[in-house]
Structure 1
Amino acid sequence: MFYRESGQFSTSYRSDYRIFRLYQERWMFLLGLMFAFLVVPFIGNDYWFSAILIPYLVLSLAGLGLNLLTGYAGQLSLGSAAFMAIGAFATYNFHLRIEGLPFLFCFLLGGFTAALVGVFFGLPSLRIKGFYLLVSTLAAQFFVQWVLTNFSWFSNNNSSGVISAPPLLVFGYDFSSPAGRYLLTLTTVVVFAYLSKCVVRSELGRNWMAVRDMDTAAAVIGIPIAKTKLLAFACSSFILGIAGSLWAFTYLGTVEPHGFDLTRSFQILFIIIIGGMGSILGNFLGAAFIVLLPALLSNISASLLAGSIDTGQLENVQKIIFGSLIIFFLIKEPDGLAKIWQTFKQRARVWPLRF
């Protein structure tokens, strides 16, 4: 009954095109943002910021970048971690080699660098599609990692190839503390999630979905296929580059090229599959499943099974439970957790007549 939309009429196209049509959704979203910005920094501890919340937010942003390319534009990719690495190392070099350049501007330049490289590796999508394109982006993953490992200039001639985060100064404020890094990451994720929502609801987003559903029909009705696909790679790689910069500088503090390996690309792919492809909310739900659920299982198993089995077996039990839950959700709802949430909202609107 609380979620009922009775009496809420759209009297203009603008009001009908709002992101949140119901006032209940708008208030829930605003209260959630207020809690995240104004309450969490004061009640959270360093462990929650550094080990739980920041990686959750960064992986949500990385999933958002891949979802624009795969979920909305229909272009398969396994090079997500490579574009994250490009963004991280480009941001580091812009800040290191251009004196006086604001750190926030370095973030944006790192994202644009990843976008340019993404367009280059997106050129094969003009001729191939499906699993063949997947192999092409897989080549980007190995090539970028090889370049960053064998050319020490990108890591400022560090023999180990490790880059370290500079002081996080934005508009004269130092965000190097755990709470500050959380707020910087949260602000970045909220801004890009909003911009991505606007993009997918625009003409470009509709073109992406038309190409995803049937590129031949999209070409017949006048959609520029090449431009649409390359813009999808550019936008996706830009957001992944920003996510890579956040992963290196607000989460880890130091990172090496092997920190953005193929395993990271698969992790991001699992996030959008579990959360729901073609959904902005699905990225956050999928990242919560990948990041928060293992931590919850670890705490529960440690409290219930401590002393009964050794630590090594306990980790194996956690992996078995986690893998079983993934299989269960994919069987129960192949369209991801976002579809479950949409179904719940539709039933809540007609409760108590039907639920």
Structure 2
Amino acid sequence: MPSSKEYAMRRSALPRVGLVRGVAVVLGLTLVLAGCGGGKDAETGPITYGGSTWLGHYPAMVAVEQGFFEKAGVDVDFKSFDTSSARMTAVASGDVDFASTGAVSALSLMASGDDSFVLIGSQDKYLRQEGLVAQRSVKTMADLRGKRIGVPFSSSSHVILLDMLDKAGLDPKKDVKLVNMDGTDMVQPFRSGQIDAATVWQPSFAELRKLPGAHVLGYDTDTSFFKQYGFAPGPDVLVMRKEFVEDQPERARKVADAYFQGLDWLKADAKRAVPVLTGYTKLEAKEQQDYLADVTWLGKDDQVKFMAADGEFVKSLDDLAALMARHKLIGQAPKVGDWVNTDVYSGG
């Protein structure tokens, strides 16, 4: 498992990473440590949001920088993590109260039996932000047979790759060689020919496409999952610590309300948000604006219906969990509806 090192600087430039193998082991350790004391002060201490520079965290960045949390009377710290697994482990241990994460990492914890968190929503739909990039010699999916493909294991990109291989009739265990690597580590192996293709998200996806001879074999929008549900495998979800929602319901509602004020501000005029976001992402203004153009934001009023336990989104997460179980990324697939809680949208 990669390091669970985290960076508390609000304006860090860490990439979005979705590796979640070994979460259960780390989680068990952190829960033991959390039980030894030193927890947050209920009702008075700062609230911690767990994020990174991935686009799913943009509303939280805006809510911090534009003062929406402060105006709501809640003190929120933005803490960046280098992996989704580290972020979710921090939620489970009580060090993070509120976070966005790719669904794959959340499903992995659910499958391990962890119920320390709840799903409260999904803030975005993004298009063509992940995909499979290949060398010039790999012209079609069929040409991948016998080739080496870099991908962060147990991530949304891993699921996208498995879906594409399934559609092409390629067995991921027999017909290709999958190489586990972080997105930030892919450029040099691709350039030197150590890997023949790679599947990853932005900004590494864009960096690979700039290399000589590189071309896209498929986007997240080419997956069977997208064609069925209208969004990419491993969509972003919003999670809160279960004890936070149950023991501090008013504060939890204020946090959710201020977060979605940030989202609405971003949605109303993405261009004005660029200088706010680049302080975190370190992207060039034009590149930042291009990323924003491919995102559809889902507001507070969308959440209760969107997260209905018998609704299409939750059903899609059940199907995603089943796919992960089929490929042995997790054990038994969890029933996602058991983790849904939209109480933060009532009574506020």
Q: Please report the TM-score for the alignment, with normalisation by the length of structure 1.
A: 0.25
Higher-RCO chain (CA-CA 8 Å, sequence separation at least 6): 1
**Which of the two has greater helix per residue?**
1
Greater C-alpha radius of gyration: 1
Q: TM-score, normalized by length of structure 2?
A: 0.26
